Chain A
Amino acid sequence: MKESLMDILCDPLDKSDLELEVDERDDDEILEGRLIGTETGEVYPIEDGIPNLLPPDMRDD
């Protein structure tokens, strides 16, 4: 995902802001990392460049 996507993403649970942590990037593309709900503390992984913003009850992990 591109970092500019942060402008429109929010926590699916309460629509609060997300914080971005990057582990790996390729130019402006974030490949691995996580998005963290600033209110909920929920951790949403970015895997292979695609943020997984499924609510926790729909995730495998």
Chain B
Amino acid sequence: MDGDPPRAGDSPRTSGDSRTSDDAPPPSDDPRATYDAIAEHFASTREYPWPEVKSFVADATDDEQATRALDLGCANGRHCELLSEHAASVVGLDVSRELLREARKRATERDFDVSLVHGDAARLPFCDETFDLAVYVATLHHLTSREARVDSLDELARVLRPGGRALVSAWSTEHSTFDETEGFDTTVDWTLPGGERVPRFYHIYDPAEFRVDLDSSELTPVDVFVSSGNCYAVVE
């Protein structure tokens, strides 16, 4: 999504636009149905790990292998693949079954190990203090309520080990796509190769609001910044 050049498929619009397809697309506020519908095409456009994620993982591990890493909202597993180079075991969680299939395909084709789990970012099925490394990238902004977003940050804090580090990112009003300066809810269509448009819910964060949500959670922000139109936080 956000910050992935070229931005194949992404086509921001206002949520009131009329639809061109007769087939009713899934409701935009249900990321599971949305990503199940677009999984294969979406995955084909998500080839490389983001540079911000690569440098976070390199810094956080400091050339030492992490024991257990988590990719929260793993989609097609591109960051699982990166984590697998820096951790003894990697778990990828996503709300979309079809994206998990894409992740498995990628893991098989590229020969890396990942355990895939179907679940909800705001109610994680992992024991306390399980992971010493985690990435929660371009996923937080799909949760429709602020309560769920802060819950998911609390859940991330719960499953991190003491001293463990995570990177959180969300699409930001700082991105050139947006004119707004305050955080807002919107719908961004994904356009499939056949022309069908599938709406996706986003909460676009302004940087101050991103900071407030982090501070409202159990996470401890270590470094909070904007890069390539996304809000980022390194947290413990």
Interface residues, chain A, CB within 8 Å of chain B? 1-2, 5, 7-13, 15, 44, 49-55, 58
Contacts and interface: CB of A to CB of B under 8 A. Distances in A.
A9 B97 contact: no
B120 A12 contact: yes
Contacts of B124: 12
A53 B118 contact: yes
6 smallest CB-CB distances across A and B, nearest first, come from A53-B125, A12-B125, A12-B123, A52-B118, A53-B119, A8-B130
Contact of A10 (B116, B118, B120, B126): B126
Contacts of A12: 119-120, 123-125
Interface of B: 32, 68, 91, 95, 97, 100, 104, 115-120, 123-128, 130
A61 B130 CA distance: 29
Contacts of B91: 5, 8
A15 B127 contact: yes
B119 A10 contact: no
Contacts of A15: 127-128
A58 B120 contact: yes
Given A50-B97, A54-B120, A1 B115 contact: yes
A17 B32 CA distance: 26
A11 B128 CA distance: 12
Nearest to A45: B118
Given A5-B115, A58-B120, A50 B100 contact: yes
Contacts of B126: 8-10
A51 B69 CA distance: 18
Contacts of A52: 97, 118-119
Contacts of B95: 54, 58
A58 B117 CA distance: 14
A12 B115 CA distance: 17
B117 to A, nearest CB: 6
Nearest to B68: A8
Given A9-B125, A13-B123, A58 B32 contact: yes
Contact of B127 (A10, A44, A49): A10
B120 A50 contact: no
28 contacts: A1-B116, A1-B117, A2-B115, A5-B91, A5-B115, A5-B117, A8-B68, A8-B130, A9-B117, A9-B127, A10-B125, A10-B126, A11-B125, A12-B120, A15-B128, A44-B125, A50-B97, A50-B116, A50-B117, A50-B118, A51-B125, A52-B119, A53-B117, A53-B119, A54-B32, A54-B95, A54-B118, A54-B119
Nearest to B130: A8
Contacts of A5: 91, 115, 117
